[in-house]
Amino acid sequence: RTSQLQAELENIYATTKVCESNNPEKCYTLSPYLERSMQIEKDYDRLIWAWKGWHDSCGNKVRPVYIPYINLLNKNTKENGYKDLSVSVS
């Protein structure tokens, strides 16, 4: 189940797109466009557009998968004698 949830998260990251508001057919994925754009872009408004667009588009899709994923990782971690995931990876 952990692998399935991880694959779902990776798929969401790979396929989520942010589209231009003035041209909704012009859309960008996180990699490579948005990552690269956030590294080199100087226009503050464009940076906000990229970050907020990614956050809003991806966040809603990730939440229902991420929470059970972390809960499952914590359960597995406790079964291995740790308090939670943060303790097992530090």
Q: How confident is the model at residue 37 (pLDDT cuts 50, 70, 90)?
A: confident
* Domain count along the chain: 1
pTM: 0.75
Contacts of 7-13 with C-beta under 8 Å, sequence gap 24+, read: 8/65, 9/62, 9/65, 9/66, 9/69, 12/58, 12/61, 12/62, 12/65, 13/58, 13/62
Query: What integer pLDDT is reported at residue 45 of this predicted model?
Result: 92
pLDDT of 9 > 90? The answer is yes
**Local confidence band at 90 (pLDDT 50, 70, 90 cut-offs):** low
pLDDT tens per residue across span 38-88: 899 899 998 999 999 999 999 989 999 999 999 999 999 999 888 878 776
The domain of 52 spans 2-88
